[in-house]
Structures are given as structure tokens and as C-alpha cells.
């Protein structure tokens, strides 16, 4: 008796379980047809994502993403995690996003927060923005990279994850300029014992 062909939904579930087993260290080979059933193609620009401290000294994550649906899907939630943050908030209100700074690409937070339904072949792109409670640790200097996980949940509460490398963007620290007061300049003219050196006439 021929085996029953798996549905797209069943292949997706098997793929999620297989990936979890691989992550747990179990050696297995994932069938090619399971990989072809991924519901989303996710692309993130290597030089378009960054993490920086906003004016409130919170780490702010800005990830440019392009999403292409390969099957009918509804994205119900999005999560960001990094090596030093596992409680990153993705606000979906415009006034909250205004606190984080200005961004070039359209922000997708509100669309994801309201449930984003996509048809096969449909594409969206823009920025996903989140912020943490703490600043970027000092161990990550300006220009370094942070590997983060971007995770979407679908209508079945299945996770679709993608790793993205973000650029650490710290503002340059201006050099401190020291201006000496008139009193300090006057003291600099004083001699060894607090007196001005005497001028002796030339012999």
C-alpha cells in the first residue's frame, strides 16, 4: 500500500520537530521536500540592521527584513533576542516608536501586532524595531557585530526563526576641551613658594 503524501501543514510540523532535534544535538538528515515546505523566505540586509542606545539609554534594535510567503500564512507575533537581551519589547504604537529615533524604512511593528496575513508569493519589506530595558554592554564597541534571532509565530503557534547580524552603532565621543580660567592662569605664573618670580636687573 503506497504511503500517504504529507500535507504542507504536516511537512511544516515535521520540519519544526526535526530542527529542534538538530538543535538538541541529535544527528539526523532532513528530507529535501521538508525544507521546500518552509512557509516563509526571510532576508535581512547585512549592512541595514543596527543596534544603538536611544536617548533614554535603552538598547534599540532596528532590523531591516524582506519576507516572502511561500504558503498562505498569518504572522501573529514577532520576537527579537540577543546574547545580552531576552526581554526585547516590540511596540506597535506610533508614539512609542517616536521615542526610539528616526528610521529610513517603513516600520512593520503595527502590521505584525495586528496579525499579518500573506498569500503565496506576497512580499513585504521594512524595519522591525524593538527596545530593551538596558543599554548595550560596554564589551560591544562601536562597529562590532551582534548576532540576534528574529522569530515569527504563525497562526498555529509554530516558530519560524532567522539569525541576523546587527551593527553596533555608538556615537563618537567628542574630546573634552579644557579651558583655563584667568585665576588659574595667574596661579601658573606664580613661583615655587606661591610668589611671583622676581625680575632682577641685568648686570
Segment 184-193, tens digit of pLDDT: 545 555 554 4
Distance CA 31, CA 67 (A): 24
Give 42 or 48, the one with higher predicted confidence: 42
In this structure, is residue 176 part of a structural domain?
no
Distance CA 186, CA 200 (A): 20
- Check residue 94 and report its DSSP letter: H
Distance CA 40, CA 121 (A): 9
Average pLDDT, the chain: 78
In this structure, is residue 73 part of a structural domain?
yes
Segment 5-40, tens digit of pLDDT: 666 556 666 766 777 777 677 887 877 666 656 788
In this structure, is residue 191 part of a structural domain?
no
> What stretches of the chain show up as alpha helix (H) in DSSP?
8-23, 32-35, 94-98, 109-113, 182-188
In this structure, is residue 116 part of a structural domain?
yes
| DSSP-assigned states of every residue in 125-182 | EEEEEEE-SSPPPTTS-TT-EEEEEEEEEETT--EEEEEEEEEE--PPPPPPP----H
In this structure, is residue 160 part of a structural domain?
yes
Look up the domain containing 24 and give its range: 7-37
pTM of this structure: 0.66
Question: What cell numbers appear for 200 in the block?
Answer: 632682577
Same domain, 47 and 135: yes
For residues 140 and 166, the answer to whether their CB atoms sit within 8 Å is: no
| Nearest alpha carbon to residue 80 among 91, 94, 96, 69 | 91
User: How far is CA 155 from its chain centroid?
Assistant: 24
Same domain, 15 and 54: no
In this structure, is residue 2 part of a structural domain?
no
In this structure, is residue 123 part of a structural domain?
yes
Amino acid at each position: 500500500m503506497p504511503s500517504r503524501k504529507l500535507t504542507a501543514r504536516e511537512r511544516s510540523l515535521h520540519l519544526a520537530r526535526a530542527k529542534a532535534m538538530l538543535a538538541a544535538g541529535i544527528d539526523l538528515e532532513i528530507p529535501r521536500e521538508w525544507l521546500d515546505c518552509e512557509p516563509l523566505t526571510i532576508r535581512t540586509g547585512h549592512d541595514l540592521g543596527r543596534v544603538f542606545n536611544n536617548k533614554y539609554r535603552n538598547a534599540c534594535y532596528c532590523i531591516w527584513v524582506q519576507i516572502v510567503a511561500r504558503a498562505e500564512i498569518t504572522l501573529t507575533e514577532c520576537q527579537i533576542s540577543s546574547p545580552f537581551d531576552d526581554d526585547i519589547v516590540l511596540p506597535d504604537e506610533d508614539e512609542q516608536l517616536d521615542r526610539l529615533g528616526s528610521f529610513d524604512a517603513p516600520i512593520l511593528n503595527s502590521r505584525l501586532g495586528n496579525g499579518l496575513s500573506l498569500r503565496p508569493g506576497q512580499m513585504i519589506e521594512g524595519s522591525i524595531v524593538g527596545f530593551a530595558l538596558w543599554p548595550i554592554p560596554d564589551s560591544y564597541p562601536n562597529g562590532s557585530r551582534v548576532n540576534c534571532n528574529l522569530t515569527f509565530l504563525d497562526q498555529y503557534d509554530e516558530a519560524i526563526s532567522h539569525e541576523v547580524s546587527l551593527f553596533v552603532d555608538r556615537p563618537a565621543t567628542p574630546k573634552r576641551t579644557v579651558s583655563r580660567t584667568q585665576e588659574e592662569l595667574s596661579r601658573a605664573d606664580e613661583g615655587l613658594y606661591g610668589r611671583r618670580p622676581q625680575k632682577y636687573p641685568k648686570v
